[in-house]
Amino acid sequence: MENEKSKSAFLEYFGDTPKLRFLDFLIGNHFFDFNMTDMAKEAEISYNSLKSFFDEFLEKGIIIKTRRVGKSDMYKLNMENETVKRFLQFAWFLTKNNLLLSKERKISV
């Protein structure tokens, strides 16, 4: 039987779509930069799905180009963007809240 990864609190609350999976990946890896191929692979979405909204994320400043390695451009979550800062706070709030609820359920059982 295939081992299914557990979903983050963010995906549990809002659903599991390619765009949301990509955002979830960025949240968990916001200190690192990646090329588009690796981002798609790690977020478990197709490269074509990523391409469909990648430019929109760049234009809105959600992600930024950090450097070029060989022929690959590297990108990461733009931690200077106010929307991204608030989004991260919200995502971590969901995670914390989810952990507290899980802990309360275990205690009450």
Beta strands in 47-100 (DSSP E): 63-69, 72-77
What is the band of 8 on the pLDDT scale with cuts at 50, 70, 90? Answer: confident
Q: What is the pLDDT of residues 15-52, one digit of tens each?
A: 899 999 999 999 999 999 999 999 999 999 999 999 99
16-99 is classed in which CATH architecture? Orthogonal Bundle (1.10)
CA distance 20 to 9: 12
**pLDDT given for residue 32 in this prediction:** 97
Q: What is this structure's pTM?
A: 0.80
**pLDDT given for residue 1 in this prediction:** 37
**pLDDT given for residue 46 in this prediction:** 98
Domain ranges within the chain, ordered by starting residue: 16-99
Q: What is the pLDDT of residues 51-87, one digit of tens each?
A: 999 999 999 999 999 999 999 999 999 999 999 999 9
Instruction: Output the six-digit token pair for 15.
Output: 């659903």
CA atoms within 13 Å, Cβ hemisphere of 9: 15
Taking a C-beta distance cutoff of 8 angstroms, is the pair 106, 84 a contact? Answer: no
